[in-house]
Chains A and B, each alone.
Chain A
Amino acid sequence: MGGDRQGWLLPLRNLTAIVDVNRLGQRGPTELEWDMDAYRRRFEAFDWNAIVIDGHDLCAVDEALRQVRGIDRPTAILARTIKGKGLPQVENEANWHGKALPPDLAEKAVAELGGLRDIRVTSPRPELGTPAGATTAGGQVTLPTYDKGDKVATRKAFGDALLALGARTDVVVLDAEVSNSTHTDEFGKAYPDRFFEMFIAEQQMVAAAVGMQVRGYRPFAATFAAFFTRAHDFIRMAAISQADISLAGSHVGVEIGPDGPSQMGLEDMSMMRSVLGSTVLYPSDAVSCAALVGQMVDRDGVNYIRTTRGSYPVLYDSDESFPIGGSKQVRGSDNDDVALFGAGVTLHNCLAAADMLADAGIRARVIDLYSVKPIDGPAILEAARVTGGRVIVAEDHYAEGGLGEAVMAVCAEEGIRVTHLAVRTLPASGDPNELLKAAGIDALTIAETARSITGR
């Protein structure tokens, strides 16, 4: 790619930043204080147009704002200002940050500013345009289908579903330079004008998604689950702003194997569950993944889907529905001995464990908790009731804040004890099955745990 700019990567000439350079932070002087030239050189080094002005000179402000119209690049207007301007006792002094003036100083301030007056300013009015949110949705979406038993990675199904959603012109996709791993590249090839390569800059990716949804777009931003953590503040603020965005984190847990702990999403469910009003989804197979992606697009708030690197068997028929807040009982009867809860790779391990337990005459109920938040409380409590409170949850995530604690929160209300299998030590780099075993979330460990709590 290099220095050759492609069509979509043109400088944002419709963007102007105004920097209020008042020399003071909350506690004292800033690093650059009033070194206006240093600010100018920094913006210019990033290929911005930069204009330095006296921020208290209204004519200069006006002139600068007029100038930016004809520039082919973004502009930074660097306005040198004085904090507390207009009141000599406060002007350019530290320690007045976020403090109200005492009554006597307030009176003086009003007088210094010319006394009580009623001044109205008429600013330029925008032209009539199209309201945000009116982006035409367009085409019919047909979600992908898969054959039961075929091995398909959920990250691949996510990419397939996203490609299908591309029929809607309000869907945009943002990538942080891993589109060939998250499978958003398929959308990018089909809809290059609605695919945004943000390069290795996850904070900017999430921030841009929030900015784009203001215009009525339904953005999906995708990278490795581990690397969303550096954008947490932007995700948190998206919830405060009540933005509607969808995020997809791939390569979760120790299951990724050889790439080692630096690439493993092991905190993402905890991070995303704690966001106010968020939705957290964790499909185990391609069918449920596609169905959930199809629902995320129209769901309000911050939505997160967690996808797995490896390929596992398709578990469901393609016409099955997966309502958010629900779960699926994949195995079970009316008189089960033990309940096994899982999602993603651990659901497959729970199923393998159920087979081992069946050989030993132990009946296991296996539940797919594809909706981590909101979680299917009634199904969890029913499974606990049937099995006499013998409940195991296994997750490929650290023990804190993930699927296990979501199940425990439901069970705690009824005083039910949960046996929780999760990643509790620093994982190594190695074979996925070895790492799942080392973490104690493999089929054999789940089966042995079930035998020990059933006493058989």
Chain B
Amino acid sequence: MTALRRVTGDVKHAPAALSTLDVLWVLYDRILRVDPTRPDAPERDRFLLSKGHGPAAYYAVLATKGFFPADWLDDLAGPASRLGHHPDRTLVPGTEISSGSLGHGLGLSVGTALGLRAQGLTSPHVYVLVGDAELDEGSNHEAVAYAGATGLDNLTAIVIDNRSATHGWPGGIASRFAVNGWTTADVDGRDHDAIATGLRQRIPHRPHVVVARVEPKFEGA
């Protein structure tokens, strides 16, 4: 993607950006009903990037889809740039949450989905992207249990499983969601059709999780 190549800086989190690029592209290209000319349209789908570290891919996708001019990418994290090392909802058009402290997005997405449901807005769907290492924060498990108990079927979580810094997942990541009543899909995080198919799955009264496997060897790319 040419937009990503424009991105300079943020060397530290480059691997994190690369692991999320395919999923983000599929989300914005095929799944999310969002309008760059009206980023705050009430009926829009919500996308929350919990894993706010390494947002270069996120910024590149938002720019390509017209949320802001592509030349913003040339000055990522520069002194006058609106694009910081961690996304700021007050500065980046199309960004739902400020992130950078891990283990927040899933909980915030539960609140977003509950709020939409309470107002009778049945059309918008809430998507949240989390990292596998980030799931070690206990707050995620509170959110997973609550979403399952309340049957939040307007919520889909995507876990990027690049087997990064974590103690591992005996029985798999998906099983921890499944025991709390979530439906699950396990996909190759580089296969765009598989990602799209996984994201489209939905069963009434159950939240859904897509575990996107990304080979750690890609991390050095």
Which residues in A have some Cβ–Cβ distance to B below 8 Å? Answer: 1-5, 9, 31-32, 38, 41-42, 44-47, 177, 199-204, 226-227, 230, 258-263, 428-431, 434
Which of A44, A226, A428, A431 contacts B101 (CB under 8 A)? Answer: A226
Q: Supply 17 A–B pairs (Cβ within 8 Å), ascending by A.
A: A1-B164, A5-B168, A31-B145, A31-B149, A41-B179, A42-B145, A45-B175, A45-B178, A200-B165, A226-B101, A260-B84, A260-B86, A262-B99, A262-B100, A263-B100, A429-B77, A430-B79
Which of A9, A201, A431 contacts B79 (CB under 8 A)? Answer: A431
A199 and B166 form a contact (CB under 8 A): yes
User: Considering the complex, which residues of chain B in the window 148-172 have a beta carbon less than 8 Å from any beta carbon of chain A?
Assistant: 149, 163-171
List, in ascending order, chain A residues with CB within 8 A of B163's CB.
1-3
Which of B52, B103, B170, B180 contacts A262 (CB under 8 A)? Answer: B52
For B133-152 the 0/1 string (1 means CB < 8 A from A) is 11011110000011001000
CB contacts between A and B, total, < 8 Å? 99
List, in ascending order, chain B residues with CB within 8 A of A261's CB.
88, 98, 100
Q: What's the nearest-Cβ distance from chain B to residue A64, in Å?
A: 21
Which residues in B have some Cβ–Cβ distance to A below 8 Å? Answer: 52, 77, 79, 81, 84-86, 88, 98-103, 133-134, 136-139, 145-146, 149, 163-171, 175-176, 178-180, 216
A177-B133, A431-B79 in contact; A199/B100 too (CB < 8 A)?
no
B168 and A177 form a contact (CB under 8 A): no
List, in ascending order, chain A residues with CB within 8 A of B100's CB.
259-263
B86 and A46 form a contact (CB under 8 A): no
A5 to B165: give the CA distance in the assembly, Å: 12
Of chain A, the residue at the smallest CB distance from B99 is: A262
A107 to B165: give the CA distance in the assembly, Å: 58
Of chain B, the residue at the smallest CB distance from A429 is: B84
A200-B133, A260-B100 in contact; A2/B216 too (CB < 8 A)?
yes
B84 and A38 form a contact (CB under 8 A): no
A1 and B179 form a contact (CB under 8 A): no
A1-B168, A200-B102 in contact; A46/B138 too (CB < 8 A)?
no
Interface centre among A46, A204, A260, A261 (most CB of B within 10 A): A260
By Cβ-Cβ distance, the 5 closest A-B pairs, closest first, are: A262-B100, A429-B84, A47-B170, A2-B163, A3-B168
